[in-house]
Amino acid sequence: MQIAGSVSLSAVMDELRLRRAVFHSEADFQHAFAWAVHRLDGAVHVRLEVRQKDSEYLDLLCFGTAGRTAIEFKYFTDSWDGIDPGTGEAFRLHSHAASDLARRNFLFDVARLEKFCRSSSEPMNGLAIMLTNDRTLWVPPAGSRPTRDREFRIHEGRRLTGVLRWGVNGSYFLRNQRDLAGDYPLIWHDFSRMDGPNGEFRWLPVHVENAQVHPKEAPADTP
């Protein structure tokens, strides 16, 4: 994927890895990502918290003569204490605990990006990115027990498309339902590995390239 038509996403993540192995917060991750883009191509402008229609805000907008990219971030952590080997900084990450809400909110970001790209007055692609050390997000569930976030799972190998419902046993919360126009295969990537429990960080990108396709109905038993 190209950010603002000129910088590859893989190059940005490689640039980040050279300087940082871990981040204090989602805002810290956003800021570091934005400056990595700017370091790789100084002609690309980066803007954080850009207001959109309906009083919504976009985490990051990257734009230049070659294109525009809307980016939404999620940084979901499990508890980890340690030292970043590159910077020497001490970190005390806490556990966010509610991984079902992490899945839901990440899917909300994908749907928001489809809307932003569709309503933009200029051609624009989108990127939703999750960085986490919570392995339950990338590992497929061990059992078949129904859960309310079943259709919102984002583990390795999953595909996201169509109507995604939040609920269980036929009882759904319509305010959480999202209709995705695109078809998104999920591939997780390694970011960093450090000592101690929960020291492995991985990241997941979802590329929103064409939000003009009409949503299609997804089977109720989508895994």
pLDDT tens by residue, 80-108? 999 999 899 999 999 988 999 999 999 99
Does pTM top 0.85 for this prediction?
yes
Tell me: pLDDT of 215 over 60: no
- β-pairing verdict for 167-168 and 7-8: unpaired
Section 64-89 average pLDDT: 96
Q: What is the predicted pLDDT for the residue at 77?
A: 97
